[in-house]
Chain A
Amino acid sequence: MGKLFDVKMVFTNIPQILVYLPVTMELAISAMAASLVLGLLLAIIKEKKMPVLTPIVNLFISIIRGTPVLVQLYVTYFGIPMVQKYIAMQNGTTYNASAVPPILYAFVALAVNQSAYNAETFRSALQSVDRGQIEAATSLGMSGWQILTRITLPESFAVALPNLGNAFISLIKGTSLAFVCAVVDMTAAGKIIGGRTYRYFEVYVSLALIYWVITIVVEQAMKLIEKKMAIPDEVPVVQGSENATEVQRAAAV
C-alpha cells in the first residue's frame, strides 16, 4: 500500500475524466432543453385549466415529484425495452435492444423528471404576470398566441430564470446517476478509473472538484443571462439617436 491519500492522483485523474465531459453536458443540456418545452406545455395546460388534460398533468407531476429520480431512471431503462418488445410482437417484427443508445434512456428519464419541476416554476411565473398587460394586449386586438409569445412568456421567463438556473445545476449533478442506464458519463468514467487503480477516494475527489467548477461556471453564466434579461436601470442609449443622448445628459445634470 502506498500513500493514504494521493493528492497528485486527484489531479492526474481529471484529464481522463474530462474526456467524458461532453457526454455529461450533452445529456444535461438536451434534457434541460426538452424539459423546458415539456414543462412549459404542462404549465400552460394547468394555467388554462384545460379539461381532461389538467387532471392527467396533475397526476403526472405528483408521481414524478413523489418518486426518486434513481427509480425513474431504472423504470425507464427497463420499461422502454418492454414497450418496444410489445410493439414488435404486435407487428410480428423482431426487436433489437442494442439499437437504442443508452444515453437515450437517461435523456428521457431526466427530461421527464425535470419537466415536472419546471412546470411548477413556469406556472407560478405565468401567474405573476399582471392581468393589466394582458388586457391591454387584448384590447389592441392581439391574438391569444401573440399575447402568449410576445407578452406573457417573455415576462414570465424573466421571473422563472433564477429557478430554472438552479434546476439546470441540479440536473447537471443528476446526470451522475445516468450510469444506471449504462451511460458512460464523467461519474461512470470515474468509477472505471477507480476500479482500475483501486484509488476510489481520489477519483471521487476529482469528480467533486469537476462538478463544483462546472456549477460555479454555470452560476456565473446564469447571472449574466439574468442581467441581460433584466429591464435596464438606466435608460438605454440608442446609437445614432440624438434625442436619447441629450435626455441622458439632461438626466445626469
Chain B
Amino acid sequence: MSEIEIKNLSKKFKENVVLDGINLSINKGDVIAVIGPSGTGKSTLLRCIDRLETPESGTIDLAGLHVDLSARGNHKAIRELHQRTGMVFQSWNLFQRKTALQNVMEGLITVKKLPKAEAEKIAREQLANVGLADRANHYPKHLSGGQQQRVAIARALAMQPELILFDEPTSALDPELVGEVLDTIRKAAQEGYTMLIVSHEMNFVRNVANRVLFLENGHIVEDGTPAEIFGHPKSPRLREFISKIDRLQAPEYSI
C-alpha cells in the first residue's frame, strides 16, 4: 500500500475548474516532480494538499490519519496534516522578525513542544545541513534569496515531515543562486524524504525525480519515470510542452 493517498481532489475558483478529480498515490521516499504549463493548477494542487486552500472535494490519507480536505471545522485533523507535511514556498516566506535560527526553531517549539535547548540543537544541525551554520543569527533581510530559501528548507526539514511540498522553490531566485538551492533539495531527496516538487528546472527534474506528473487542464495527463516522460511523451500536449521548455533551457542553440 502507498504511504500517502490523495483521492478525488477537485478545486475551482468561481467557474474556473482548476483541479478535476485528481487521484495520486505516493510511496515512501518518492521524489515526484509536477510539471505543466503556467496556470494549470500546480500551485493549487500543492496548496490543496497542504490545505492552505480549501477544495470542493478531496481526501488525503497518511498512516493513521484520514482528512477530508473539503470539510470545514475539522481543525484537529487539519493541524495534524499541517504538522506531518511541510511546504517550501516560491517566495520563501521566512518570518521577518526572527533570525535564521529562530525561524527553524519556531515549529519545533510551538508545534513539537520541544524544550528550547533541544530545539536549538536540532535547528543548528539543520542549518549546518543546508550549509548555513554561520548564518544562524542573521535576519532574513541579511540573507540572499538563495540563503533565505535554504533556511526555509531547513525550517521544513526540521519538522521531519512525511511529505514535503516544494512550489517552484527556485523560480524567484537570480540564476546564479538556483544551483545552491537545487543542491540542497537534492541532498534532502537522497536522505530519503518524500517530496512533491513543482519545478521548471527540467535538468533537475530529470536527475532527481523518480517520477514525473504532467498536469494539464485539471488532470494528471501523464505519470511516469523521467525517462518515460521526457524520452517517450505520449500526448501531443506533453510533447509540445517539452519542446518549448527544451528550447528555453538550451540557450546555446538560440544564438
State how many angstroms separate the Cβ of B218 from the closest Cβ of chain A. 23
Does B155 belong to the interface (CB within 8 Å)? yes
Q: Which residues of A141-173 are within 8 A (CB) of B?
A: 141-143, 146, 150-151, 154-155, 158
CA distance A238 to B124 in the complex (A): 14
The stretch of B78-86, B227-235, B241-249 in contact with A is: B78-86
Q: Is the CB of A139 within 8 A of B134?
A: no
Q: Is the CB of B137 within 8 A of A237?
A: yes
Q: Out of B87, B133, B139, name the residue touching A231 (CB < 8 Å).
A: B139
Does A135 belong to the interface (CB within 8 Å)? yes
Q: Is the CB of A135 within 8 A of B155?
A: no
Q: Is the CB of B94 within 8 A of A136?
A: yes
CA distance A141 to B152 in the complex (A): 15
Given contacts A140-B107, A140-B155, A141-B111, whether A135 and B89 have CB atoms under 8 Å apart is yes
Q: What 1/0 mask marks residues of chain B from 42 to 81 whose CB sits below 8 Å from any chain A CB? A: 0000000010100000000000000000000000000110
Q: Is the CB of B106 within 8 A of A140?
A: yes
State how many angstroms separate the Cβ of B151 from the closest Cβ of chain A. 11
Chain B residues within an 8 Å CB radius of A216 = none
Chain A residues bordering chain B, tally (CB within 8 A): 29
Shortest Cβ distance from A244 into B: residue? B137
State how many angstroms separate the Cβ of B35 from the closest Cβ of chain A. 22
Q: What 1/0 mask marks residues of chain A from 114 to 150 whose CB sits below 8 Å from any chain B CB? A: 0000000000000000101101111111110010001
Q: Out of B79, B80, B95, B110, name the residue touching A136 (CB < 8 Å).
A: B95
Q: Is the CB of A142 within 8 A of B110?
A: yes
State how many angstroms separate the Cβ of A146 from the closest Cβ of chain B. 5
Given contacts A136-B89, A140-B82, A142-B111, whether A235 and B133 have CB atoms under 8 Å apart is no
Q: What 1/0 mask marks residues of chain B from 184 to 216 whose CB sits below 8 Å from any chain A CB? A: 000000000000000000000000000000000
Q: Is the CB of A154 within 8 A of B97?
A: yes
Given contacts A141-B111, A141-B159, whether A243 and B136 have CB atoms under 8 Å apart is yes
**9 additional A-B residue pairs with CB within 8 Å, beyond A133-B95, A141-B111, A247-B138:** A132-B89, A132-B93, A139-B50, A140-B106, A141-B79, A155-B97, A158-B97, A231-B96, A244-B137
Write 9 A-B pairs (CB below 8 A) sorted by A numbering: A136-B87, A139-B87, A141-B80, A151-B95, A154-B97, A155-B97, A232-B139, A235-B142, A238-B137
Residues of B near any A CB (own CB < 8 A): 50, 52, 79-80, 82-83, 85-87, 89, 91-97, 99, 106-107, 110-111, 133-139, 141-142, 152, 155, 159
